[in-house]
């Protein structure tokens, strides 16, 4: 089960890297690197989005960087609260919006013992 989670994280990271590479290829073809005009976090329920944003190296008004985005994904995973982290990049107000989509790990709601009373 642990190997499955590790493999899933690897596949997600790989697909994100391919998505970003595809996006960058189209941008590089036009000879313009996009400027990050917004950064947003989606999928958070218990964790404050500002706690995640404090871990990010990609900043608003900077040129979009694959290296920084990859490091940000790793930093969010290292927080230990998330099973899945994805990135979407969309055009936004003269630049691009970097959207980090996270899936929090489940919490234990109830512990029930069965057997000897």
Give the pLDDT confidence of 12-33 residue by residue, as tens digits: 777 776 667 666 665 555 567 8
Domains of the chain by residue range:
2-104
Q: Are 12 and 77 in contact (CB under 8 A)?
A: no
Kindly indicate the confidence band of residue 90, based on its pLDDT and cuts at 50, 70 and 90: very high
Q: What is the pLDDT of residue 33?
A: 82
> Class of 2-104 per CATH?
alpha beta
Q: Is the predicted pLDDT of residue 78 greater than 60, yes or no?
A: yes
Cα of 13 vs its chain's centroid, Å: 9
In Å, how far are 18, 47, 53, 97, 104 from 50, measured between CA atoms?
27, 9, 5, 17, 15
pTM (two decimals)? 0.68
Cα of 91 vs its chain's centroid, Å: 17
Q: What is the pLDDT of residue 31?
A: 60
Q: What is the pLDDT of residue 22?
A: 67
Question: What is the arrangement of strands in the sheet containing 95-104, beginning at the earlier edge strand?
Answer: 36-42, 95-104, 82-92
Q: What is the pLDDT of residue 30?
A: 55
What value does the mean pLDDT take over residues 44-49? 91
Cα 31 to Cα 10: distance, rounded to the nearest angstrom:
31
Kindly indicate the confidence band of residue 52, based on its pLDDT and cuts at 50, 70 and 90: very high
What's the mean per-residue pLDDT of the chain? Answer: 84
Residue 98: closest CA among 28, 20, 26: 20
Kindly indicate the confidence band of residue 113, based on its pLDDT and cuts at 50, 70 and 90: confident
């Amino acid at each position: 089960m642990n190997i499955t989670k590790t493999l899933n994280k690897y596949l997600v990271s790989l697909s994100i890297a391919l998505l970003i590479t595809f996006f960058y290829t189209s941008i590089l073809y036009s000879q313009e690197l996009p400027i990050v005009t917004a950064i947003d976090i989606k999928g958070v329920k218990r964790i404050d989005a500002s706690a995640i944003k404090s871990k990010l190296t990609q900043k608003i008004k900077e040129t979009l960087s694959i290296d920084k985005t990859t490091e940000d994904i790793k930093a969010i995973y290292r927080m230990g609260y998330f099973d899945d982290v994805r990135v979407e990049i969309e055009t936004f107000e003269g630049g691009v919006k970097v959207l980090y989509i996270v899936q929090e790990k489940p919490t234990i709601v109830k512990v029930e013992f069965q057997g000897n009373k």
